[in-house]
């Protein structure tokens, strides 16, 4: 406990770190306040009566937005249109060579970020009317002019998404951690106390008793531990450096390691897959009498939804790992610095060797990530209340753990750069960020 207070004191002493933390907390507070501001002309009492029986993907989307979705808030669409735009741009990078080239250049990445913002506006404008018609019943609309109210509400919802996107970018630039991920995480955490309270009340009132509640909490802690191992797991590849002569002295036999992460993609595959799984929900809600075959795509406990979600997470894990880790560039960097993997020729064979190893260690990570994604469905089948079941791995817990580790890693980097002790004496905190390959010098 003494070391904890000492670390907090050291964090507060560093002016830059203190300012970044305060800016982050301030901007997140603005987001939380905005999530409670209801669209003009909406009767919240009638709205609550209409949405009290919600569930499924709509409830999960509400968790993503910190409850703003069910409250008809100005931030009801949240950051998901931006995530959807990012997915489209990333997929374009895999299919279009020009976009691939832009992804490797600073100026190109800036332009792609601008394209993503424009796509977010277009997606939000398409999602806004669908949200209004399916979530806000006519009896909850108090506007005298329905047409004007509809147009103004669409503009407000789109502007709300842009403002949330701006908040995320400001947190990333001037605050601490990744702003978009922190905004999603803070919405998830905001729902946890209520979900836990509901589960405690349900179990203590005759739904299994305290023993079942204790088992649920133990299993939740085990899930968190498994996610941390997934995020921090690495495979180290030994690299030997050739002899070098500096002045009259000869140096050689220098050995270093390339850390390849079991889950180099972090939480992005599960965010991308979940964003795509929300699309059938909007399409399903657009029909007055939706097709029967679509029911399985919006039911979180159906076999169709879970197998599709699992496969998409696995595919996106490989997809995003290919973006994050470039074996050819790593092989070229080693060759330029006189490094080689023992028993493997430099150049193309080294790149193929790294690519093969990366594919092998990514497979178990992708499968485990996919299992974690569908774990809430098994929790619901075991009798756990739906709102609390969302925190058993899946999107909620994985994002929360991954983002917290990333943020703590940044705090520790600030502490160590100022010659203070880190947050953990046993070793450095490992976040989701792919470690930069550091070449040994003689």
SS3 assignment, position 71: coil
CB 82 within 8 A of CB 165: yes
pLDDT, one tens digit per residue, over 206-233 is 656 778 888 888 888 888 887 777 777 7
CB 231 within 8 A of CB 432: yes
**394-417 vs 209-232: helix axis angle to the nearest 10?**
50
Q: What pLDDT, on a 0 to 100 scale, did the predictor assign at position 136? A: 85
| pLDDT at residue 177 greater than cutoff 60 | yes
Q: Residue 343 and residue 155: Cα distance in Å, rounded?
A: 61
Distances 86 to 80, 185, 214 between C-alpha atoms, Å: 10, 18, 40
Q: Residue 220 and residue 227: Cα distance in Å, rounded?
A: 11
Q: Residue 298 and residue 50: Cα distance in Å, rounded?
A: 19
pTM of the model: 0.74
pLDDT, one tens digit per residue, over 235-285 is 777 777 665 544 444 445 556 777 778 877 777 788 778 778 877 776 776
Across the range 64-83, mean pLDDT stands at: 86
Q: Which of 84-88, 314-318, 341-345 is the most confident on average? A: 314-318
Q: Residue 249 and residue 201: Cα distance in Å, rounded?
A: 73
| pLDDT at residue 434 greater than cutoff 50 | no
Across the range 118-138, mean pLDDT stands at: 87
Q: What pLDDT, on a 0 to 100 scale, did the predictor assign at position 25? A: 93
Beta-bridged to residue 141, according to DSSP, are 42
Lowest mean pLDDT across 24-33, 172-181, 243-252, 350-359: 243-252
Q: What pLDDT, on a 0 to 100 scale, did the predictor assign at position 33? A: 93
Per CATH, 1-175 and 191-442 having the same topology is answered yes
CATH superfamily of 1-175: SecY subunit domain (1.10.3370.10)
Q: What pLDDT, on a 0 to 100 scale, did the predictor assign at position 153? A: 92
Domain ranges of the chain: 1-175, 191-442
| pLDDT at residue 437 greater than cutoff 50 | no
Q: What pLDDT, on a 0 to 100 scale, did the predictor assign at position 321? A: 85
Model confidence band, residue 164 (pLDDT cutoffs 50, 70, 90)? very high
| pLDDT at residue 428 greater than cutoff 70 | no
| pLDDT at residue 318 greater than cutoff 50 | yes
| pLDDT at residue 438 greater than cutoff 50 | no
pLDDT, one tens digit per residue, over 46-69 is 887 766 544 556 667 777 788 888
Task: Express as a percent the part of the chain with pLDDT over 70.
Answer: 85
Task: Express as a percent the part of the chain with pLDDT over 90.
Answer: 11
Across the range 37-48, mean pLDDT stands at: 85
Q: What pLDDT, on a 0 to 100 scale, did the predictor assign at position 419? A: 63
| pLDDT at residue 29 greater than cutoff 90 | yes
CATH superfamily of 191-442: SecY subunit domain (1.10.3370.10)
């Amino acid at each position: 406990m003494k070391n904890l207070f000492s670390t907090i004191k050291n964090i507060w002493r560093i002016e830059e770190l203190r300012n970044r933390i305060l800016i982050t907390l301030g901007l997140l507070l603005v987001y939380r306040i905005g999530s409670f501001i209801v669209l003009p002309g909406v009767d919240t009492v009638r709205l609550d009566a209409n949405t009290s029986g919600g569930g499924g993907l709509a409830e999960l989307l509400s968790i993503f937005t910190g409850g703003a979705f069910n409250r008809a808030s100005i931030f009801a669409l949240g950051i998901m249109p931006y995530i959807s735009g990012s997915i489209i741009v990333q997929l374009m990078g895999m299919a279009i060579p020009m976009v691939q080239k832009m992804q490797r250049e600073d100026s190109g990445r800036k332009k792609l970020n601008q394209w993503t913002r424009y796509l977010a506006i277009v997606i939000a404008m398409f999602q806004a009317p669908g949200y209004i018609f399916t979530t806000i019943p006519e009896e909850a609309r108090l506007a005298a002019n329905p047409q004007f109210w509809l147009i103004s509400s669409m503009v407000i919802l789109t502007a709300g998404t842009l403002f949330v996107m701006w908040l995320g970018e400001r947190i990333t630039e001037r605050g601490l951690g990744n702003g978009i991920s922190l905004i999603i995480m803070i919405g998830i955490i905001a729902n946890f106390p209520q979900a836990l309270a509901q589960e405690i009340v349900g179990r203590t009132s005759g739904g299994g008793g305290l023993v079942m509640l204790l088992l649920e909490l133990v299993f939740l802690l085990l899930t968190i531990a498994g996610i941390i191992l997934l995020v921090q797991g690495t495979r180290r590849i030994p690299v030997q450096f050739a002899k070098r002569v500096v002045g009259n002295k000869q140096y050689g036999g220098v050995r270093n390691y390339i850390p390849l992460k079991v889950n180099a993609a972090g939480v992005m595959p599960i965010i991308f897959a979940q964003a795509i799984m929300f699309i059938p929900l909007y399409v399903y809600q657009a029909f007055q009498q939706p097709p029967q075959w679509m029911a399985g795509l919006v039911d979180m406990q159906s076999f169709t939804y879970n197998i599709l979600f699992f496969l998409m997470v696995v595919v996106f894990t490989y997809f995003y790992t290919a973006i994050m880790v470039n074996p050819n560039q790593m092989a070229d960097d080693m060759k330029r610095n006189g490094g080689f993997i023992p028993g493997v020729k430099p150049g193309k064979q080294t790149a193929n060797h790294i690519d093969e190893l990366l594919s092998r260690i990514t497979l178990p990570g992708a499968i485990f990530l996919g299992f974690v994604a569908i774990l809430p469905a098994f929790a619901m089948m075991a009798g756990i209340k739906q709102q609390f079941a969302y925190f058993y791995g899946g999107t909620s817990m994985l994002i929360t753990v991954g983002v917290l580790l990333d943020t703590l890693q940044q705090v520790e980097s600030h502490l160590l750069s100022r010659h203070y002790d880190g947050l953990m004496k046993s070793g450095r905190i490992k976040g989701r960020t792919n470690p930069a390959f550091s070449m040994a010098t003689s």
